[in-house]
Structure 1
Amino acid sequence: MKRLLILGTATAAFAIVLAGCAGAASDPAQKPELVIWTDATREAPARAYAEAVADDVDVTVELKDNFVSDIALANRADEGWPDLLFTPNPNDIAQFRDPANGFAQPLGDLITNDVLEGYGSANVSCEFDGQTWCLKNDLAQSVLWYDTVIFEELGLEPPSTFDEFATVADELNAAGYLSGAIGSTVLQYGFLNSSGCTFSDVDPADNSIEIDASARECVRVSETLQPLIDSGAFDTRSPFDAEFIAEVGQQGKVAMQIGGSWWGDVLFAPAENWAVPPGRFAAAEMPIWDGNDVAYSGQFGGGIWVLSSHSEYKDEAAAALEYFISDPSVIEESPTIPAYEPALAIWQEKAAASDFLAENPTDVFAVQAQRLQPAAQAVLFDIQGAALSEMTASVQAGESLQAGIEKFAISATQLAEEAGYSVE
């Protein structure tokens, strides 16, 4: 059964359906029962949905914090799966769609093409081998954050290419300002992934991954960034590091920072974090790498909804999924940017009401939502952990970025092969 997506109440989203392909067989006389797993952030809308559809569906909401492990436990017990789950870790879908796991249900027969097309390319990380395996809940695309006051004082414009980025970073450094912190996942998601150096681009035809630290997409990152690291234009600590926050972030020394679209409310504004004064920071589109046709974004997270292949009530689970990605009551209260493009208009009103940023970021976020790096795919190993322990740690220890990328490649190769991939 397929349904029309309605931006409205939960009861409307559930009730209005179109007859189509039949879902899992169930007793029509029995009241449907759904189990939804979620994290604490999504608990409130899940419980609100359960209350709204209580006359038609019995919904049980359960909080979890390790979805891969809990699904593995259910698989071993051959029972106890949820009908629908939200995980904040988009890489989890690699496990759930893997035939050895079997949890994820392809959504092509359950979600209308109108809904899928409403994402544009923002749902690319949920698509694999011609199937849509999940729906993205929120966005975490990289953007270029900058201090509008400092840029105006120095007569600078946000850079549109990474060559311009390096030039602007040099000018900012000469004036006593940093162009960001590159510890934590910034090197991986902000720079390498935007360039196309991902080590996670899976070819479903033969289950292979190309991992090559000498590829142009990798080398141009190290060649561009190494002089800036050497000159002190970057800080190699994490932008979330307590010492960095106290010594740099809260002192107004960062004039430019590539980071996640959610960083404004979470990192820049709070008094306990960077405490940036209202009206200074703005978001700009990502710079483009020389040789690329698109100014891609990496992704600093972004949660996903996954429907269970074991569900007896797949249509009801799909109705709940559509509610969570689109209902105004959910979007208005969401701390993050919706991935479903029609819901952006609702979020834009919320953003317009905020006086923290110097400019409404919605247009920039919408543009970069359609530029997510397609080569950064979910994989069956901890690609982020490999990047942090090998590349980021090496740079922080004083080694060159290229040496760190090469260590990252060695680790990623070993992990990929252990997970069953062939490495090219």
Structure 2
Amino acid sequence: MKHYILKTLPVLFAGAFLASCKKDNNNMPTQPNTITIENVLDSKPLVESGTFKGTGTPPVILPGQSVSFTFSAAKNQRLTFATMYGWSNDLFFAPANPGIQLYNEEGTPISGDVSDQIKLWDNGTRVNQAPGKNVMHPGVAEASSKNIKEVTGTDDYGNTYLAASKLMKVTLTYNGNSMFTATIMNNSGGTVNETPFSPGVWAISYVAGGKQLLPQPVYSADMPTANGLTDIAEKGDNTTMSTYLSGITGIFTPLSPVLVVVYNGAENPFYKTGENDRGEGLKDLAQKGNADILAAALKSKAGVKSVYVLKDATNTVLLPKINGANGGKVSQLLNVAPGDRIAIATMYGFSNDWFFATTGNDIEATKKGDVSSSIALYDDGTAINQFPGAGITQFNLAGTPLEESKPIQLVPNPNAFTTLPAINNIIKVTLQ
């Protein structure tokens, strides 16, 4: 649970190629300048996480009460959570890993009762007394801590339990646009296992290449407890686990193969804020990460001297930093003359139609050093936005974008879904 690794990541974006064209610039003397684009994002494996609790004092969820929370998710993402079986020494409820299924194989959102996916688990740190309101907390510590184990009918001490689905009812409601509401109802009242539920935690992992980056963020069956789960299982205190999950929740995105254009002119040759997408291929770059169409269109434009589509030699896409490893990087030697400008564009891979691009008058081609301050994040206005990295219609999460037609504009930060890192903490551009 403490580490995650992306072992394999199939090509996420439509086919990329290296294209170039060169034109004379009135015989102006040229000089070499190498452009390097890097994905410097310190990525996180969880796209969302949070907490839940009851409304009373203490904030437990009593029999007959319920609690709800809302989240976004794409196909293959799962919901997991944990909450204490309050009248026990160290038992907790949680879905079987990798979590509650949210879409069927066809990509249709799942709604209704999903309680059969919930299990009861023994944290393995306390001797189990007979469950009930007379349980003494914290109780006797196990002589040596045991691994987390599912409780099926009876525990290691002969105490009996109903199935978790008889004590807890979990329902999903699909709100549209990849958003769900999960409701946890305490149905234990009047049963032999009546119990309050403690404040808990929940999480959603990113998916890349069809695989969850962190499929077991809260617990791992048959492994020792970790990261504050003991505080939930023994005391109903979700503080430590919440802090841990928050620390691994954030942004994960690859960058698509990078379009680099050298031109001599007064303005960027492929987009302008406040105008709609020109239908020349920027849409394909912004939605699918495919710069090929736009590159081909730019070759014949007046003032355009060179066009390149740069792809990472290993992954095609530029991956972010993962487990401390450097992110993807591409470079290209350019021959430029005074007065030339450089424009670039690359897709924010886990979005509907966001793209990074040079701003204003782009980059002076003979400049040297870090020019990342010239980059901004734009919404192409051609697809309805969803939570980045958790949208069912995002192309790189096996979806089909829902079309819209709006002017290109800057992506606000914070935006309607999340707060992104500073641009220079995602993409770095240097000239040397």
- TM-score for the superposition, normalised by structure 2: 0.27
Looking at secondary structure, tell me which structure has more helix per residue.
Answer: 1
Q: TM-score, normalised by structure 1?
A: 0.28
Give the structure with the higher percent strand: 2
